[in-house]
Structure 1
Amino acid sequence: MELPILFYGVPSGCSFGSIVALEWLGRPYHLCRISMPDVVTSAAYRRLNPIGETPTLMTETGAVISESMAILNHLGARGVDTGLSFAQGTADFDRLNQMLAYLNTSFFSGFSPLWYAIEHDGLPETEKQALRAYGARKLRSSHAGLQAMLGEKEWLLGDRRTLADAYFVGIARWSRYHDVLDRREYPRLQRLFERLEADAAVRFAYAIEKGETPRGAGGFQGHLSLEEALRRLPA
């Protein structure tokens, strides 16, 4: 049986969290590097993901899954024994799914107008400033909400890390690119972010994005080109 392939976007894709999750799981996998916006919108990549976004996961059987939340839940079902996820139908699974949904909607969406302002050079300055102001308001609200959900817990769901923490760090790092919010105003979130930044899998994901060849936890089996990966698609 083939190994799963994660197609991750550079620079700074939200697929970062899925790389961290794969490292935490420790099971063999390949990566495929997808440059944005050129390769991710190409006809070749759209054979995998018709909307031209990352991440995408090709499973061992050649099935294709897109959207971070779906990919993380797929990985989680294979990692219940690690504590990174929980069995579907349990209260813990519901809590994890709720946290992933908040990160995928409220937390993620605060950055969307900020990225739009950066990626569209032709926008009038007044529109860019309006987008930045709107994004800043959304981010302050989502950070306050997430800090309230975190409470005094060590990790987002309690005393051990889960896939929600992997997804969080991949999104939260974007505040470096947008000078509209100081995470230190949310000290419990800042402590969580610093703990994750020190994690070996997070450092591995940063190195992968930079194009380096880091030593992971043992699961990473190298990169495949997009052309190599596409040969695995069912006829």
Structure 2
Amino acid sequence: MHPTLFYGVPSGCSFGSIVALEWLGEPYRLCRIAMPEDVTGDAYRRFNPVGETPTLMDAQGHCLSESLAILNHIGARGISAGLGFAQGTRDFDRLNQMLAYLNTSFFGAFAPLWYALEHGAQGADKAALTGYGAAQVRKVHAGLEAMLGDQPWLLGERRTLADAYIIGIARWTRYHAVLDRKDYPGLQSLFDKLEADPAVRFAHAIERQEAADSSGGFLGHVRLDEVMAPR
């Protein structure tokens, strides 16, 4: 059995795990999980009891959830490709630090905006949520711009899993028009470079259910009931 990534649509943060698997190049399958319909159902909760995506089921049938954990798992398999680094090294610590920042501060900055949008907040509640969320999103963009400096990638001269992860979250500004990324030229350059990457284009096509050309080890989609069958 090959690893299977359960990814959420529309526009889930699991996008980054798809990109990372493409960069890794090893065989894998995908299972599409609609949010909120499938992700909160009993069937999917057999794989992830908290009802969130992504979840990665490995070749032995063990499930791993949370983007940070999944990306570190992929990174451990992609050390020779420069996607990850040996634990205990300075490079591993730097990657883990960046992934943690993206997984907490950067991701979390959008939470008030998503709540306002998905729960139909109105009036003073909407103003408070969007105002706070907008301020947080601008803050984390400014922080990342400072950390990036004049580097071509988040950690320096070559791409890592941190770059795979950020592109799935950074695109959320198209739902929440709270800043102009051009005010952060380093991040804009990184965003444009990632959007042109074949693995990122592949992940976009997968989400849109369009013809997708894999440059990695994609073996096709499997339905949730098909993954459940042998369990």
Partner of 1:69: 68
Task: Write the letter of the residue equivalent to 1:130.
Answer: A
Residue pairs, 1:214-233, within 5 angstroms: 214-233=212-231
Partner of 1:103: 102
Shift of 1:157: 0.4
Give the Cα–Cα distance (whole angstroms) in 2 for the partners of residues 195 and 52 of structure 1: 33
Shift of 1:125: 2.4
The root-mean-square deviation of aligned C-alpha atoms, in Å, is: 0.8
TM-score by length of 1: 0.97
Shift of 1:232: 4.3
Which residue of 200, 203, 214 corresponds with 1:202?
A: 200
Partner of 2:113: 114
Task: Write the letter of the residue equivalent to 2:22.
Answer: E
**Change in CA separation of 1:186 and 1:54 when aligned onto 2, cut-off 3 Å:** same
Shift of 1:94: 0.2
Which residue of 122, 127, 133 corresponds with 1:124?
A: 122
Task: Write the letter of the residue equivalent to 1:112.
Answer: A
Classify the secondary structure of the residue corresponding to 2:11: coil
The percentage of aligned residue pairs carrying the same residue is 67
Give the Cα–Cα distance (whole angstroms) in 2 for the partners of residues 21 and 124 of structure 1: 38
Shift of 1:128: 1.2
Instruction: Please tell me whether the aligned partners of residues 54 and 67 of structure 1 are also in contact (alpha carbons under 8 angstroms).
Output: yes
Give the Cα–Cα distance (whole angstroms) in 2 for the partners of residues 222 and 188 of structure 1: 35
Matched positions, count: 231
**Mind listing any 5+ residue stretches in structure 2 that lack a counterpart?**
none
**Change in CA separation of 1:78 and 1:38 when aligned onto 2, cut-off 3 Å:** same
Partner of 2:135: 137
TM-score by length of 2: 0.98
Instruction: Please tell me whether the aligned partners of residues 24 and 216 of structure 2 are also in contact (alpha carbons under 8 angstroms).
Output: no
Instruction: Please tell me whether the aligned partners of residues 84 and 161 of structure 1 are also in contact (alpha carbons under 8 angstroms).
Output: yes
